[in-house]
């Protein structure tokens, strides 16, 4: 296994095509195909499945690519520091549910890090993809939640994927509303009172199981439901349609001013927010800084 081979497979994965990757690497397509086949034979793993429309990464290949990217990034750091005499570029990525406090902590990370060169990624995405990102080392840290309803399924999935968890905090569920919503000034809300208003949730794609929902009470039958994929849409629908969203109540106001309020939901349920990491990876300094920022945001 060589560094060139690792760079080859990462390039093919990024391009989705052996032909396009070969052009970008300035080598012939047969040479690239042979190098990948030799690597697959050596590691006894099929990384790519060839199709008429390009290549598709296998599940085993995705895991291998996660490690390959880490090796390449570390090599680039060494070259920048000791061979190019250039500022060392830092890489850091997290995958998270659509939590404002996670974005807030990310802002704190960038402010505190203050490096000359960095490439950071904040992936607000689906539950299953967060687990896959951390498993395959696309992200160092994942942020998801556990409830009494989903914990058995999620914890089993974490164990099967060699992921470890740490509890960040436990919160009572709150209802996020526009400040002019009829219930915005209430101290507490019964869930049944919201039946006539649109319930806004984050869609989970092909893994749209109740257990993978970002919100508690996922099995509840609602008259009006809007599923979205980004946090900005939630705010737009709360303001424009008097919709509501169920979450933790941890809400940094500076990200959206005072337009959105959090009102406690009358429920015995608890939301346990956890961080997940790959057990084979030691936390980086950036990871430690981010975790401390998360704790500060929570207070």
CA 113 centroid distance within chain: 21
Helix 3-15 × helix 59-82 angle, to 10°: 120
Residues 152-190: tens digit of each pLDDT: 999 999 999 999 999 999 989 999 999 999 999 999 999
Residue 273 main-chain phi, psi, to 5 deg:
-90, 130
Distances 220 to 201, 213, 276 between C-alpha atoms, Å: 12, 12, 27
Q: Span 192-218, mean pLDDT?
A: 86
Of 59, 57, 44, 54, the closest CA to residue 22 belongs to 54
Rounded CA-CA distance 122/234 in Å is 18
Task: Output the pLDDT for position 221.
Answer: 86
Residue 253 binned pLDDT confidence (cut-offs 50, 70, 90):
low
Q: Which residue's structure tokens are 């526009």?
A: 178
Residue 256 has pLDDT above 60, yes or no: no
Residue 254 has pLDDT above 50, yes or no: no
Task: Output the pLDDT for position 244.
Answer: 93
Contacts with 298 (C-beta within 8 Å, 6 or more apart), sequence order: 101, 168, 169, 250
Residue 86 has pLDDT above 80, yes or no: no
Task: Output the pLDDT for position 298.
Answer: 64
Return the percentage of the chain with pLDDT > 90, whole number: 37
Q: Which residue's structure tokens are 């089993």?
A: 156
Angle made by CA atoms 164, 130, 176, in degrees to the nearest 5: 110
Residues 264-293: tens digit of each pLDDT: 999 998 999 999 999 888 888 889 999 998
Of 227, 223, 202, the closest CA to residue 213 belongs to 202
Is residue 20 classed as helix, strand or coil in its secondary structure? helix
Rounded CA-CA distance 61/68 in Å is 10
Handedness of CA 93, 96, 98, 99 (dihedral sign): negative
Question: What single-letter DSSP state applies at residue 182?
Answer: T
**What dihedral do alpha carbons 292, 293, 298, 299 form, nearest 10°?**
70
Domain annotation for the chain: domains and CATH numbers: 3-75 (1.10.10.10), 90-164+280-298 (3.40.190), 171-271 (3.40.190.10)
Order of strands across the sheet with 188-189? 188-189, 260-265, 174-178, 245-247
Give long-range contacts, CB 8 A cutoff, 24+ apart: 36-41.
36/5, 36/8, 36/9, 36/12, 38/5, 39/1, 39/5, 39/8, 39/9
pTM (two decimals): 0.71
Burial state string for 167-200 with b = 16 or more CB within 10 A and e = fewer than 16: ebbebebbbbbbeebebbeeeebebeebeebbbb
Q: Span 233-245, mean pLDDT?
A: 91
Task: Output the pLDDT for position 252.
Answer: 52
When the pLDDT of each residue in the chain is averaged and rounded to a whole number, the result is 86
Question: Do 264 and 187 touch, CB atoms closer than 8 A?
Answer: yes
Residue 206 has pLDDT above 50, yes or no: yes
Q: Span 98-124, mean pLDDT?
A: 85
Task: Output the pLDDT for position 145.
Answer: 92
Task: Output the pLDDT for position 214.
Answer: 87
* pLDDT higher at 51 or 189: 189
Give long-range contacts, CB 8 A cutoff, 24+ apart: 51-60.
54/16, 54/17, 54/18, 55/12, 55/13, 55/16, 55/17, 55/18, 57/13
The bridge status of strand 271-278 relative to strand 141-146 is antiparallel
Q: Span 88-109, mean pLDDT?
A: 87
Task: Output the pLDDT for position 255.
Answer: 47
């Amino acid at each position: 296994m060589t560094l060139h081979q690792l760079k080859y497979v990462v390039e093919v994965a990024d391009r989705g095509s052996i032909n396009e990757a070969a052009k970008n690497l300035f080598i012939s397509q047969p040479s690239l195909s042979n190098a990948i086949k030799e690597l697959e034979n050596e590691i006894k793993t099929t990384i790519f499945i060839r199709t008429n429309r390009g290549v598709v990464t296998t599940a085993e290949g995705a895991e291998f690519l996660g490690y390959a990217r880490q090796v390449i990034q570390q090599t680039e750091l060494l070259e920048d520091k000791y061979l190019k005499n250039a500022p060392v570029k830092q890489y850091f990525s997290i995958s998270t549910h659509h939590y404002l406090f996670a974005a807030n902590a990310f802002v704190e990370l960038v402010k505190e890090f203050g490096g000359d060169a960095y490439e950071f990624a904040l992936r607000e995405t689906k539950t299953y993809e967060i687990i896959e990102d951390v498993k395959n080392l696309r992200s160092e840290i994942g942020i998801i939640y556990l409830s009494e309803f989903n914990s058995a399924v999620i914890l089993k999935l974490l164990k099967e994927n060699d992921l470890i968890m740490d509890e960040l905090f436990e919160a009572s569920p709150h209802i996020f509303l526009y400040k002019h919503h009829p219930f915005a000034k209430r101290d507490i809300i019964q869930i049944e009172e919201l039946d006539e208003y649109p319930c806004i949730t984050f869609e989970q794609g092909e893994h749209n199981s109740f257990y993978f929902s970002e919100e508690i009470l996922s099995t509840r039958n609602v008259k009006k439901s809007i599923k979205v994929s980004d946090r900005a849409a939630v705010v737009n629908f709360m303001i424009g349609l008097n919709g509501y969203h169920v979450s933790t109540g941890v809400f940094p106001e500076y990200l959206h001013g005072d337009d959105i309020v959090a009102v406690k939901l009358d429920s015995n349920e608890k939301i346990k927010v956890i961080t997940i990491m790959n057990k084979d990876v030691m936390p980086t300094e950036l990871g430690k800084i981010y975790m401390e920022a998360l704790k500060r945001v929570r207070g």
